[in-house]
Each structure stands twice: as C-alpha cells, then as structure tokens.
Amino acid sequence: MSAKSVAGSPRTVAYGDWIITFGLIAIMAGAYTLSLKWPANAAFFPRLLSAVGLILCLLNLGALIWQTLSPAPAAVPARAGGGHGSDDVQLVEGDEDQGNEDEFHKIFTRADKRMWGSVVSWIVFFFVGLYTVGLLVTLPVFTVLYLRIVAKASWLVCLLYVLGTAGLIYLLFDLLLHLPLPEGVFPILGS
C-alpha cells in the first residue's frame, strides 16, 4: 500500500510494475535458493516452479525495459508491439477485458497521498488494536471512531451499529458456535 502514487500517468504505472517485477524476481530467486538445500524429491516442484517463475519475471523485466526505451507514440492508445509474443496485449491501458478490476484500478490510481495516508492509518489502527487488545475492544472503538469521523454518522447510528455487530457476533460465536474470538496479546476483557 504505497502512498507514493500520484495520478494515473503511464510513468507511475510503470514505476509500480518495476517494483513488482523486481520483488517477484527476488521472491523467485529466493525460493530457488532455498530449495537447493532440500532432498531431490522435495525440491523438484519448488525448483521447477521458481525457475520457470524467474524466467517469466525476467521476460517481464525485458518487456518493461523495451517499453521504457521505445518511445511510445502519444496518440496511439494501445502501445502494442512491446516485448514478447502474447504479452503485448497486457500493456494496454484501460484494457477492455478488465471491467470491474479496472474500476478498482482507477480508484486506487486516482487516490492521492493524503487519502492513502488516512486509509492506511485507519487500517493500521484496526490491526494494531486487534493484535494488542483483541477484537472485543477493537470492535467498538474502531467502529465508533470510524463511523463518527469518516462516515459522519450520528451517535445513535454508532450505538446501534456497535450493538448490532457485537450482538450478532455474540449470538453466532459465543452462543451458537462456541468459537473463541481473536484475543490480543494484552487482553483487557475476557479471560
């Protein structure tokens, strides 16, 4: 969840692609290296897959380099002809195949630093809360704060919301299924 994205210019898209490609190259190379220590039969599949994955990632890297080096004609929407055989299709911005995922892509691309910052902080807040004090505390605190600050909901809505979710969870997890709920490392409530 990098906060560095600005608008959806082709350059920034490529910038993310570089990082992903290098990240995947590192993962594949690491996976291959780790597999060297294992006995042959255990290592066969991981080694095969990481090797194939590594080659594919390098191909993708090649495609990226090609794409950067060859000046894209500004007027042509489809920067076709880059790289390797079948993957030339992928480089098209706003590919018609993408539908819903494309919509998500647009939302993620358009969001500015400030928006990413605020969303990421909320999520970090939620998970840190979950980790430290567990669900029973995090649920009402996060819900009320988020609903008040972001959704601008009234106190009544917050109250009903928290009671509703907590009630549902209690009914399902405690009464019906007898399932434990995630507890934090410093539980305040519960056992």
Partner 1 sequence: MLDAVLSGLLQVLSPDSMMLMMIGIFIGFVVGVLPGIGGPVAMALMLPFTFGMPPIHVFAFLLGMKVVTSTTGDITAVLFGIPGEATSAATVLDGHPMARKGQAGRALGAVLMSSLVGAIIGALALGLSIPVIRPIVLAFGPPEFFMLTVVGLIFIASLSRGQMLRGLIMGCLGLLIALVGIDPQAGVPRYAFGQLELWDGIGIVPVVIGLFGGPEILQLMLSKESIAGKSASRKIVGVGQGILDTFRYWKTVAVAGLIGAGIGVIPGVGGSVAQFIAYGHAKQTSKHPEEFGKGSIDGLLAAGGNNNAKDGGALIPMIAIGLPGSVSTAILLNAFLISGLNPGPEMLTTHLDVTFSMVWITIIANIIVVILALPLLKPLARLTFTEGPILVPFLLILVVLGAYAENNRMFDIWVMATSAFVGVVCLRWNWPRAPLLLGAVLGDLCERYLFLSSSLYGWSWIQRPLVIVLAIAAVAILFKTGWDVRKHARDRQAASLKEVRS
Partner 2 sequence: MAGTFFKQAENGRAFAPAKGLSTLSLVAALALVPLTAARAADECAFFKDKTVELVVPFSAGGGFDAYGRMVAKYMGDELGAANMIVRNQPGAGGLLATNQTWAAKPDGLRIQLIAASGMIAAEFGGAAGVAFKTNGFSWIGRVSGEPDVIATGPDSPIKSLADIAKIGGERTVRIGSTGLGSPQYITARLLATVIETKSQVITGFSGAPEVFASLGRGDLDLFASSLSAAEAAEKAQTARTLWVFGTEREPSRPELVPLSEVVDAKFLPLITVQASVTAAGRALAAPPGIAPERLQCLRDAFDRTVASTAFLDESRQLNRPVEPLSGKRVAELIKTATEGAPKEYLDLLHESFTQ
Position among 11, 36, 39, 96 found at the interface with partner 2 (CB under 8 A)? 39
Q: Binding to partner 2 (CB under 8 A): which residues in 170-189?
A: 178, 180
Residues belonging to the chain: 191
- Alpha-helical (H) ranges within the chain are 10-35, 40-69, 99-110, 113-133, 135-149, 155-169
Among partner 2, partner 1, none, partner that 191 touches (CB below 5 to 8 angstroms by kind): partner 2
Q: What are the C-alpha distances in Å from 2 to residues 31, 33, 38, 44, 165? A: 24, 28, 35, 35, 31
Any contact of residue 71 with partner 2 (CB under 8 A)?
Answer: no
Among partner 2, partner 1, none, partner that 163 touches (CB below 5 to 8 angstroms by kind): none
Minimum Å gap between C-beta 178 and partner 2 is 6
Any contact of residue 191 with partner 2 (CB under 8 A)?
Answer: yes
Torsion angle, CA of 41/46/47/50, rounded to 10 degrees? 170
The site for partner 2 (CB under 8 A) is made up of: 38-39, 178, 180, 191
